[in-house]
Amino acid sequence: MPELPEVETIRRQLVPELKSRSIKKVDVRLPKMVRGRLAAYKKNISGSKIINVGRRGKLLVISMANNYSFLIHLKMTGQIIHRRGQKTKAGGHPIKDGAVNLPNKYTHIIWYLSGGGVLYFNDIRQFGFTKLIKTEELENFYNDLKLGPEPLKKQFTMDFFKSLLRRRGGMKVKQLLLDQTAIAGIGNIYAAEACFDARIMPTRRAGSLSSPEALKLYRAIKKILIKAIVAQGTSSQNYVDAHGNPGGYFPKLKVYSRGGQACFRCHSKIKSIKLGGRTTTFCPQCQK
């Protein structure tokens, strides 16, 4: 699933392509991917000018001059592709040949833009969605979802993190990091990487972390996410050449997807377990 760094990478790629463009038409090929009323969705998007491309957690938030916004959530296997002429920008879940012939069988929503650009929403498993919402109601929507703070914004302070560890002390550390109501945007990749960086076992109870450990984990979360954004994410893909190379953070992964391989720090074998149904990798030697 694309996490904060992957969605942020898509957002940054889309800003110059979408900002100040008008949406000429939206083609909804699979209505179930639109949450809320389909007619209102089409009516309020068609002919509207895009004024901002934002992000909240793993949600892309595209705001329009008519005071409406539409959200895009890529969920497990969603992919966003923008194409104008020969120029293609893509992000999200890697889909083999997903950007080769567009639209293709995975393309469920298409936004046609002024200036010749086209935005495609591909999704293999169709868990992703888009939703229209009044821009002034966005904050209420996030509150209804009980979305936690953005980990790279000022609101995510060490005091907040300490109180979170206390309040949810019974939860396992990794599961707490994955919980979008605790902190927004972290998923399986960066939760595992942050625990490794802080040398904390992902199965520890949140309440058992000492003050120095909590500080290490807090710093690790920020550091890992920033590095991943700079590297343009792990699963984010650039399909310019249609070969689908992994995002730049992939070679920097220390534990995620490295089960059975040697730890870069101590050379022990990285262990892979299931935690809450999700594959969880860690070094049994240098994570405590």
2 among known catalytic residues: yes
- Binding window for Zn ion (CB under 5 A); candidates: 6-14, 167-175, 218-226, 275-283: 275-283
**Of 52-60, 172-180, 181-189, 265-273: span binding Zn ion (CB under 5 A):** 265-273
Helix 4-18 to helix 211-230 angle (10° resolution) is 40
Task: Report which residue type is found at 140.
Answer: N
**Which H, E and C letters describe 134-156, residue by residue?**
EHHHHHHHHHHCCCCCCCCCCCC
3-state secondary structure of 237: coil
Rounded CA-CA distance 17/30 in Å is 24
Which of 30, 230, 266, 273 forms a contact with Zn ion (CB under 5 A)? 266
| 74 lies in the binding site for Zn ion (CB under 5 A) | no
4 vs 255 by CB, closer to Zn ion:
255
The question of whether 136 is a catalytic residue gets the answer no
**Residue 286 binding Zn ion, by CB under 5 A:** yes
- The question of whether 199 is a catalytic residue gets the answer no
How far is the C-alpha of 74 from the C-alpha of 63, rounded, in Å?
Answer: 17
Q: Please report whether residue 288 would count as binding Zn ion according to CB under 5 A.
A: no
Residue selected from 125, 252, 265, 288 as contacting Zn ion according to rule CB under 5 A: 265
Q: Is 56 a catalytic residue?
A: no
Q: Are 33 and 123 in contact, with CB atoms under 8 Å apart? A: yes
Q: What residue ranges bind Zn ion (CB under 5 A)? A: 263, 265-266, 268, 283, 285-286
Which residues are part of the catalytic machinery? 2-3, 58, 278
